[in-house]
Amino acid sequence: MSNSLERRSFLSRMGLGLGALLVQPFSVFSKNSQATMQAQLILKMRPLGFQWETLDPFLFCVHHEDFFPKGNAQLGPDPKNFEGRHMGQDFIVKDGFRMYHGSTVPGFPGHPHRGFETITVVRTGLVDHADSMGAAGRYGNGDVQWMTAGKGVQHAEMFPLLNQDKDNPLELFQIWLNLPKKSKMVAPHFKMLWAESVPKFSVGNIGSQTHFEVLVGKFNQYQSINTPPNSWAADPNNQVAIYNIHLEAGADFELPAAGPGINRSIYYYEGNGLLIGGQQIAHYHAVDVDAAQNCRLKNGAEVSKVLVLQGRPINEPVVQHGPFVMNSKEEIYQAFQDYQSTQFGGWPWPRYDQVHDAKLGRFAKHADGRLEEPKG
């Protein structure tokens, strides 16, 4: 299939064809309707699916966990693994993994965004990034990539299977953080937060410790590196934070209050037996808590892991259609028109499922040509 035909087919599957505006409904929703009770720590509990519901200023979070097999020379699985899959739209786990929108290498070939930011936290495995600004990168194993889509950008997120002699497990979170109206049309921006620079600390007795990562924001004296300049997180008053917390068996940890007017959600994605505020939490559930109160996490007999998302709500209308997030339907229509006419700068790479040389390690090449590698 030619690049142009493959491109049109992929965009059609994502609902980005010219007819998409006519046949697909808009999602219009408000994130500021959550009622709170001052004396009640836990406000809401809900089970988690593939796409996690979040509170304003976040839009959603997705937890990817795939156990990819050995890779081949094309950095993908052996094609015999493609049998029985809905290739190009493979979101059902088979043999431990999904190909997503990839046809040779698993992942998400070039696609557009406007009006928000993506924060990609890779716990295990590697991701290859390429975008319409000419920026590129390979990151993972604890790295965080932060991309401001702003007025419009295309990017690809592919999962190269670099190991040809062993399996290639991948675990990541992709978090969509909204932009306020004043920042939705800023210039796109690409930033790396390398694992070596992520603040980490451990507390508690040996054998029942809590291990804490400050991926975004601040916790006590621990501060993550600077955010992109136009992010809602760039203003400390918004108290945007993302924490990953690993509790050993018997660990007991208290999250201090963040203050009034802040949304805080705790996502229990691994383990069994965790108590939050004295209440038993089922595995793979989310808990919205009153951020104006301290929040005690007391673990049971096995390791538990939670992701914490918090921040001050933007409290603006949210209109989302596929990869575009704006404040009105009219702005969504304009986003489609702009993308169709400009391609948000075009695609400077030979493939829409761009992967980098297998010999390369972790790196980031910025749009200005600056090359960045992790230190340490």
pLDDT digits (tens, 9 = 90+) for 290-299: 999 999 999 9
Query: Residue 22 has what pLDDT?
Result: 31
| pLDDT of 246 strictly over 90 | yes
Q: Note whether 118 and 129 are within 8 A (CB).
A: no
Query: Residue 358 has what pLDDT?
Result: 97
Tell which residue, 99, 96, 76, has the closest CA to residue 88. 99
Q: Evaluate whether residue 207 is within a structural domain.
A: yes
Q: Note whether 178 and 314 are within 8 A (CB).
A: yes
Tell which residue, 180, 169, 318, has the closest CA to residue 240. 180
- Reported as a pLDDT band with limits 50, 70 and 90, residue 225 is confident
pLDDT digits (tens, 9 = 90+) for 177-224: 999 999 999 999 999 999 999 999 999 999 999 999 999 999 999 999
| pLDDT of 7 strictly over 70 | no
Tell which residue, 10, 46, 95, has the closest CA to residue 267. 46
Cα–Cα–Cα angle for 50, 52, 57, rounded to 5 degrees: 150
Q: Evaluate whether residue 1 is within a structural domain.
A: no
Q: Give the span between the Cα atoms of 116 and 183, in whole angstroms.
A: 9
Q: Evaluate whether residue 301 is within a structural domain.
A: yes
Query: Residue 39 has what pLDDT?
Result: 55
Q: Note whether 325 and 319 are within 8 A (CB).
A: yes
Q: Which amino acid makes up residue 282? A: A
Q: Evaluate whether residue 324 is within a structural domain.
A: no
Which residue would you say has higher pLDDT here, 116 or 18? 116
The values of phi and psi at residue 344, to 5°, are 50, 45
- Reported as a pLDDT band with limits 50, 70 and 90, residue 29 is very low
Q: Evaluate whether residue 135 is within a structural domain.
A: yes
Q: Which amino acid makes up residue 322? A: G
pLDDT digits (tens, 9 = 90+) for 107-135: 999 999 999 999 999 999 999 999 999 99
Give the range of the structural domain holding residue 243, as residue numbers without chain letter.
Answer: 42-316
Q: Note whether 192 and 145 are within 8 A (CB).
A: yes
Q: Evaluate whether residue 70 is within a structural domain.
A: yes
Q: Evaluate whether residue 370 is within a structural domain.
A: no
Chain-centre distance of CA 186, in angstroms? 20
Give the three-state DSSP class for 208.
coil
Indicate which CATH number applies to the domain containing 284.
Answer: 2.60.120.10
Q: Evaluate whether residue 167 is within a structural domain.
A: yes
- Taking the CB of residue 170, how many other CB atoms lie within 10 A of it? 23
Q: Give the span between the Cα atoms of 144 and 129, in whole angstroms.
A: 12
> Into how many domains does the chain fold?
1
From the CA atom positions of the chain, what is the Rg in Å?
21
- Reported as a pLDDT band with limits 50, 70 and 90, residue 101 is very high
